[in-house]
């Protein structure tokens, strides 16, 4: 507003006044401190300069720092101190900016070569002169070039001889001033400014420090009469300072960001006047905006560079997870580049393996960490800190075993401490500061930045040390902020490598365990030979064609013979060219891999397979399914409960077992399927090796679906859909989804088929199932201190008849009714289910106790008319039948 009134007298300035007024309202570029830090422009901001002189005279954009998580991660005031090369990054950033902006690192004309002389400038009236000088700096984001132009223009406005510009860095008590450019004259060249060595001035000291601290203008007619003036520079340079005009440079928020100083009026005009002060102050308003823009743009480029470095660091980490040395060499080298330092070290704490020799490694448990000792130190040096400079190597890599570093040990034990210090500077824990000897180094230490490497659960893995920042006395806050991200990535990489190494060991240990199990849980040659010597009985002799079959008539070896007979009668051996010895070995291995639990043991698996065989043969379902489907149904039935632990999925979840953590649903069923795959891949057990790739994949998917379908949760999901399907007049069993549903219901019918068996068998099976459930209920009560489910509560055991009636009514009856609608040949299953419901209902009505049910006698003669006791009996029976045939 002040400048508006100042220019109001000029008839040609009305458009300029409006432009200047809108300049303070121009939509800003918000430089985000997120990793993606490219400038994003406001939607309404016009980034294309107007061709008119008035529009080009105002700053195009105003930038403001964006707070990230409550604080700025990058202190833009410190950003210029970094020695990054911007040229590569500007290729990407340039595409976002108008072409008329002058960016850092881009070639530009020497300002003095295209500027008017002082005499020409001073011929302009004051408003025109001001606008021309504002336009001169409006489009420059190169901080050095911008400051150079500002100082040249200040000299023109005040007719000063020499001008300097000081910028404020740091915050709080750590603030200080640095001369961005010093003693610029009208004859100075821009190219010389880039070689300027900054002069550091304490905040609040001297004339410049006073102006920075108070924000007040200082106009001194005779510098030597002011006690704040330091005569040392005059003595050193031989230049005589007479008058000084020193004024604060403020940003759009009114904060002092720097100090501009003009020395000596030209042509012996005497001290600076009040008019000089006024016009100086007005021009510095625009200078403050320009400097803020340039600083923020420079900080955005630095953030862009740093973000790119972190992305590359992440690439290193996730690309290399096999070897610690290779990973750390790349990370250390990148650390040197990111922090412009000559040394970088990573010290890893000792992680002793106290496990007994041969102990199986648990990869989910991170090894213990000894915080009193470092196991190894990886370090890289470059530049002047390379020992053997004659080698010509750019980097020197070292690996030190059991390094002795007092500072690193202090950081590791104090967990979350970051140390940014220089030698002999006292700080907590080190009253005399640090030395090379304390850190176990044989190199000179100029400055050091150190921080712990943490795991996700706040355990210290080691310490990172960045040593000797080039061209600086110490690391700044920006370095600390970046260092925090650097150590985080280091921690991720080291953690990954450690875990990868442990997983490799665990994998090798697992292979050894599987090798042991495959030896002990697979069929021996003697067991295979014993079965091979026996002629396999017919299905009729084994009675496996009957729905009423009871396995109590067969010994364990005879169940293997019955299994082989199923494969033979379904013609699977011929159709899939299964090796006979492999089939015998696989069958015995399956039997051995069932646990000796009360009910879900090998006998249950065999009974389910027998019922599936009866459905396929006596029920003639093999005519409906393809050969590969029949193969998968029989194999899936045999293996559907392999390695069952005698507990339900709910118990696995409650106990947080490894199985519950391994699978997301149907824990036991997925385990049964994967266990089937494991034993089938053991040498000599592969009965599927003749299948081509397409048939094998299809077979595996069908077998998996068969096993997973034995989870009753799957049955309940599909129950209603299946009932609707079978109630249709002519269900389409050729359609894939219908066939899948039918196979699923068939395996469930086989799994629950004990409920359809003759009463003597059903009663015995019900007792076994109840005992297994009660055992689980006891575990839940004893271990977890909670009341078990109704049917698993041993105190409710006298209610077993009621449980069975509810089980039949809730699950079994609807299932067998639907199956009977699919195939009337399944009617015996439904009738058996109904008969057993009547029996259980009668027991319930008579309030028969569990003890009474358990003590009842079972008459096997009512189940099977002939009992074959062992292999010898089978052989004798076969010989008698053969003899009778010869006599006939």
Q: Which one is catalytic: 600, 640, 644, 672?
A: 600
Rounded CA separation 638/703 (Å) = 10
Write the burial class of residue 578 (CB in 10 Å: 0-12 exposed, 13-18 middle, 19+ buried): buried
Q: Which of 638, 584, 587, 575 is nearest to 608 (CA)?
A: 638
| Residues forming beta bridges with residue 632, ordered by sequence position | none
Contact predicate 6/127, CB 8 Å: yes
Integer CA distances (angstroms), 775 to 646, 772, 783, 800, in order: 9, 5, 12, 15
Tokens at residue 57, please? 């005279």
Number of Cβ atoms within 10 Å of the Cβ of 14: 12
| Residues forming beta bridges with residue 259, ordered by sequence position | 166, 248
Contact predicate 171/480, CB 8 Å: no
Spatial strand order of the sheet with 244-250 comes to 200-202, 176-184, 160-169, 256-265, 244-250, 218-220
Contact predicate 448/419, CB 8 Å: yes
Spatial strand order of the sheet with 419-421 comes to 395-401, 370-382, 341-350, 460-469, 448-454, 419-421
Rounded CA separation 183/195 (Å) = 14
Number of Cβ atoms within 10 Å of the Cβ of 775: 16
Tokens at residue 268, please? 């012996």
The per-type count for the chain, helices as H runs and strands as E runs, is 32, 14
Can you give 21-66 as a three-state secondary structure string?
HHHCCCCCEEECCCCCCCCECCCCCCCCCCCCCCHHHCCCCCEEEC
Rounded CA separation 728/37 (Å) = 64
Classify 252 as helix, strand or coil.
coil
Rounded CA separation 618/576 (Å) = 22
Rounded CA separation 33/807 (Å) = 64
The yes-or-no answer on residue 600 being catalytic is yes
Rounded CA separation 322/500 (Å) = 7
Count of all residues that appear for the chain in the document: 888
| Residues forming beta bridges with residue 250, ordered by sequence position | 256
Crossing angle of helices 602-617 and 627-639, rounded to 10°? 160
Rounded CA separation 393/395 (Å) = 5
Rounded CA separation 673/637 (Å) = 11
Continuous segment of H or E residues that includes residue 415 = none
Write the burial class of residue 232 (CB in 10 Å: 0-12 exposed, 13-18 middle, 19+ buried): exposed
Classify 176 as helix, strand or coil.
strand
Phi-psi region of 204 (alpha: psi -120 to 50; beta: other; left: phi over 0): left
Alpha helices (H) along 789-862: 800-807, 813-822, 827-845, 850-854
Contact predicate 64/24, CB 8 Å: no
**End-to-end CA gap in the chain:** 130
DSSP label at 430? B
DSSP string, 339-406: HTEEEEEEEEEE----SPTTPPP-TTSPPP-EEEEEEEEEEEEEGGG-S-GGG--SEEEEEEES---H
Contact predicate 871/558, CB 8 Å: yes
Active-site annotation, residues: 600
């Amino acid at each position: 507003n002040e400048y508006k009134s100042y220019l109001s007298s000029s008839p040609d300035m009305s458009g300029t006044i409006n432009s200047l007024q809108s300049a303070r309202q121009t939509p800003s570029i918000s430089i985000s401190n997120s990793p993606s830090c490219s400038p994003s422009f406001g939607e309404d901001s016009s980034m294309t300069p107007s061709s008119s002189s008035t529009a080009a005279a105002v700053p195009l954009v105003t930038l403001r720092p964006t707070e990230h998580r409550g604080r700025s991660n990058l202190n833009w005031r410190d950003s210029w101190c970094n020695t990054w090369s911007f040229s590569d990054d500007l290729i990407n950033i340039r595409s976002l900016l108008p072409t008329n902006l002058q960016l850092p690192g881009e070639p530009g004309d020497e300002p003095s070569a295209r500027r008017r002389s002082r005499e020409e400038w001073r011929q302009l009236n004051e408003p025109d002169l001001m606008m021309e000088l504002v336009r001169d700096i409006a489009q420059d984001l190169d901080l050095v070039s911008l400051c150079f132009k500002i100082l040249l223009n200040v000299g023109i406005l005040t007719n000063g001889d020499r001008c300097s510009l000081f910028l404020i860095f740091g915050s709080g008590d750590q603030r200080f001033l640095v001369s961005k450019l010093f003693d610029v004259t009208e004859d100075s060249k821009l190219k010389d400014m880039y070689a300027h060595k900054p002069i550091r001035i304490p905040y609040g000291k001297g004339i410049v420090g006073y102006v920075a601290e108070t924000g007040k203008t200082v106009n001194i007619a005779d510098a030597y009469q002011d006690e704040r003036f330091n005569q040392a520079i005059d003595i050193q340079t031989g230049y005589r300072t007479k008058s000084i005009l020193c004024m604060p440079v403020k940003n759009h928020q009114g904060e002092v960001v720097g100090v501009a100083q003009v020395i000596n009026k030209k042509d012996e005009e005497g001290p600076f006047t009040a008019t000089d002060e006024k016009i100086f102050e007005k021009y510095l308003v625009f200078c403050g905006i320009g400097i803020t823009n340039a600083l923020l743009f420079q900080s955005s480029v630095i953030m862009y560079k740093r973000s790119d470095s972190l992305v590359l660091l992440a690439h290193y980490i996730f690309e290399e997870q096999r070897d610690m040395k290779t990973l750390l060499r790349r990370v250390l080298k990148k650390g040197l580049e990111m922090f412009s330092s000559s040394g970088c070290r990573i010290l890893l704490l000792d992680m002793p393996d106290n496990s007994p020799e041969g102990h199986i490694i648990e990869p989910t448990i991170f090894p213990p960490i000894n915080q009193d000792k470092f196991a190894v130190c990886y370090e890289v040096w470059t530049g002047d800190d390379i020992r053997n400079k004659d080698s010509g190597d750019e980097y020197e890599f070292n690996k030190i075993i059991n390094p002795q570093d007092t500072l690193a040990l202090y950081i590791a034990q104090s967990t979350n401490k970051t140390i940014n210090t220089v030698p002999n500077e006292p700080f907590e824990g080190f009253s005399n500061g640090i030395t090379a000897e304390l850190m176990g180094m044989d190199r000179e230490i100029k400055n050091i930045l150190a921080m712990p490497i943490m795991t996700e659960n706040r355990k210290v893995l080691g310490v990172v040390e960045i040593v000797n920042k080039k061209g600086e006395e110490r690391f700044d806050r920006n370095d600390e902020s970046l260092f925090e991200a650097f150590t985080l990535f280091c921690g991720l990489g080291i953690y990954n490598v450690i875990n990868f190494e442990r997983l490799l060991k665990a994998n090798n240990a697992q292979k050894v365990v599987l090798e042991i199990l495959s030896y002990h849980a697979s069929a021996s040659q003697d067991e295979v030979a014993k079965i091979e010597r026996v002629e396999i009985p017919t299905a009729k002799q084994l009675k496996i064609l009957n729905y009423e079959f009871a396995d109590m008539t067969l010994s364990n070896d005879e169940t293997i013979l019955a299994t082989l007979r199923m494969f033979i009668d379904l013609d699977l051996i011929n159709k899939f060219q299964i090796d006979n010895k492999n089939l015998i070995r696989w069958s015995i291995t399956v039997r051995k891999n069932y646990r000796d639990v009360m009910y879900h043991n090998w006998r249950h698996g065999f009974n389910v397979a027998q019922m599936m065989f009866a459905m396929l043969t006596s029920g003639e379902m093999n005519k409906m399914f393809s050969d590969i489907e029949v193969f998968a149904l029989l194999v899936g039935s045999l293996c559907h409960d392999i390695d069952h632990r005698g507990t339900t999925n709910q118990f696995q979840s409650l106990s947080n077992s490894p199985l519950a953590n391994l699978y997301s649903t149907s824990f036991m069923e997925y385990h049964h399927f994967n266990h089937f795959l494991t034993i089938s891949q053991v040498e000599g057990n592969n009965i599927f090796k003749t299948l081509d790739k397409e048939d094998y994949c299809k077979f595996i998917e069908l077998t998996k679906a068969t096993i997973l379908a034995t989870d009753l949760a799957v049955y309940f999901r599909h129950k209603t859909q299946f009932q609707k399907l079978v109630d249709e007049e002519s269900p389409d069993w050729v359609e894939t989804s219908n066939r899948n549903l039918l196979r699923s219901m068939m395996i469930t019918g086989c799994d629950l088929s004990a409920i359809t068996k003759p009463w003597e068998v059903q009663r015995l099976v019900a007792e076994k199932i109840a005992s297994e459930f009660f055992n689980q209920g006891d575990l839940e009560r004893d271990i977890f201190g909670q009341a078990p489910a109704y049917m698993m509560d041993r105190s409710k055991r006298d209610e077993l008849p009621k449980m069975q009636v509810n089980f039949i009514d809730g699950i079994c009856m609807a299932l067998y009714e639907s199956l009977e609608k699919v195939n009337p040949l399944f009617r015996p299953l439904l009738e058996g289910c109904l008969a057993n419901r009547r029996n259980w209902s009668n027991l319930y009505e008579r309030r028969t106790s569990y003890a009474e049910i358990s003590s009842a006698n079972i008459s096997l003669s009512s189940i099977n008319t002939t009992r074959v006791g062992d292999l010898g009996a089978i052989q004798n029976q076969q010989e008698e039948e053969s003899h009778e045939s010869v006599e006939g």
